[in-house]
Amino acid sequence: MPAIIQLESLSKLYGSFVALRKISLELEPGRCYLLLGENGAGKSTLLRIVAGLLRPTHGTIRVFGEPRPADTRDRIGYMSHAPMLYDELSAVENLRYFAGLYREQPCLTPKAALRAVGLDPALARPVGQYSQGMRQRASLARVLLPQPDLLLLDEPFSNMDAASAHQMLNLLEHQRAAGKTILLTTHQRELAQPIADFTLILQAGAVKSFVEAHA
Amino acid sequence: MPGRLVLLHLLKDLRLEWRSRDAINSMLFFSLLVVVIFSLAFDPTRALSREIAGPILCVVILFAASSALNQAWARDLRNNVLDAHRMSPAPPSSLFLGKVLANFVFVSAVELLLAPLFVIFYNLRALGNPWLMLLAVPLGTWAILINGTFFAALSIRSRNRELLLPLILFPILTPALLAMVLAISAILSGDSDPSSWIQMLLGYDIIFTTISLLLFDTVLNAE
């Protein structure tokens, strides 16, 4: 099976600071990869490079076989620490707006995406008045909207209560079962371990280990 | 660039402003202040009014627009919404044009509210064709906003963006501001034909709109 993400000697420097150093990886489609590491290990930088939001300083990257991840952005869903939603709009209004940007792609309806993450679509409050956990869920709904093949999730369980986190986990399990590839970072390893196929640990920007999760 | 996407961005920005009224309130307050202060500073006879009204009107529009431009990308920066735009397959130029049109609606609304006040405070009556104001003012406003929105996007990653914006914007705007002032003065005084200045504004707008639309993708995706 051809790799969905191929990284070869990939490095990223911010000035003289080395955020990622010579990372070489191949990730297969339809798998869930757990990206672990301490703060500052380079997890978010790696996700942003795969998403096409950052360019590597050295090395090569291929996503869906394309050398420029930005060319495949309609197949990538990216969730960052921030919700990437407008505070002044409700969740449905936000999702309706973002669905409009994917004009040539079959999208979930905003209501279906919100129900999938356990949010009430009838909630008229602006996102700015949501709790942190609700904002995370609304953000995940935005990611799921265009039904991307590759999900890049940066700390999707942060600020969530245990019940919500398990609900998210079930949702991600369904996504993986549907053939989607998931690359997620978390500090809650035990929580995400059941759905992970592989565990990738970064340390100071380099790969410390890359092993099967249930080995 | 599909018009539907431009409309989508425009309606979003109008809705956001309607909910917060941040830009409109600051623009209105600032513009009113400038109009009142200048009217108190001068004793506007009709002849003097015709001479000073053009420059004052341009100052009002420029500063009102600057106040809107400083906030133009603030909502998109908050919560990293700009990254969601970068990840979407929609052309960045549609986001830019929607934003310029939204700013144009805000500034035009302020101009419409200020027009009667301007006539009263400065005791104005145009000796030239007053309908030409409907060309000179919108074309001048567009010149300010197309460049302003572009350079506001260019400076969003800078820490001193509110200082940087006027520093890079005002020199580039000089030809358009000059043409706008001279066109308005010619219309009010009736001394000369404003059409050449209006044509210059039109040319300026076409050139800078084209350049901005072509370069915005690079600006949005810059690291």
Partner residue facing B79 (CB), from A76, A77, A82 = A82
In a domain, A189, yes or no: yes
Name the pTM for this structure: 0.91
Residue of chain A minimizing CA distance to B18: A88
Q: How many domains does chain A have?
A: 1
pLDDT at B44: 66
pLDDT at B205: 97
ipTM of the complex: 0.90
Average pLDDT (B102-107) is: 94
In a domain, A142, yes or no: no
In a domain, A127, yes or no: no
Neighbour count for residue A22 (Cβ, 10 Å): 15
B7 touches chain A (CB under 8 A): no
pLDDT tens figures, B5-22? 999 999 999 999 999 888
Between CA B104 and CA B142 the distance in angstroms is: 7
CA distances (Å), origin A202, targets A8, A14, A35: 16, 17, 7
In a domain, A103, yes or no: no
CB contact under 8 A, A103 and B223: no
Domain interval for residue B69: 3-220
> Has residue B160 got a pLDDT over 90?
no
Please give, one letter per residue, the 3-state secondary structure of A86-144: CCCCEHHHHHHHHHHHCCCCCCCCHHHHHHHCCCCCCCCCEHHHCCHHHHHHHHHHHHH
Confidence of residue B1 (pLDDT cuts 50, 70, 90): low
In a domain, A30, yes or no: yes
> Has residue A138 got a pLDDT over 80?
yes
Q: How many domains does chain B have?
A: 1
Between CA B158 and CA A5 the distance in angstroms is: 33
Domain interval for residue A45: 5-85+147-212
Residue of chain B minimizing CA distance to A54: B223
CA proximity to B138, closest of B98, B184, B172: B184
Task: Give chain A positions within 8 Å (CB) of B16.
Answer: 86, 88-89
For residues A117 and A136, is the Cβ–Cβ distance under 8 A? no
pLDDT tens figures, B34-64? 888 888 887 767 677 777 888 888 888 888 8
B90 touches chain A (CB under 8 A): yes
The strand pair at A206-212 and A198-203 is best described as: antiparallel
Partner residue facing A87 (CB), from B8, B15, B79 = B79
pLDDT tens figures, B192-216? 889 999 999 999 999 999 999 999 9
| Chain A residues contacting B via beta carbons under 8 Å | 51-55, 70, 73-74, 76-78, 80-89, 93, 97-98, 100-105, 126, 142
pLDDT tens figures, A143-197? 999 999 999 999 988 878 888 888 889 999 999 999 999 999 988 888 888 889 9
In a domain, A37, yes or no: yes
Interface test with B, best of A101, A139, A143 (most B CBs within 10 A): A101
CB contact under 8 A, B79 and A51: no
Between CA A138 and CA A159 the distance in angstroms is: 13
| Residues ≥6 apart with Cβ < 8 Å to A113 | A95, A141, A142, A144, A145
CATH number assigned to the domain comprising residue A201: 3.40.50.300
Neighbour count for residue A89 (Cβ, 10 Å): 20
DSSP letter, residue B91: -
Average pLDDT (A109-128) is: 90
Cα of A201 to nearest chain B Cα, Å: 26
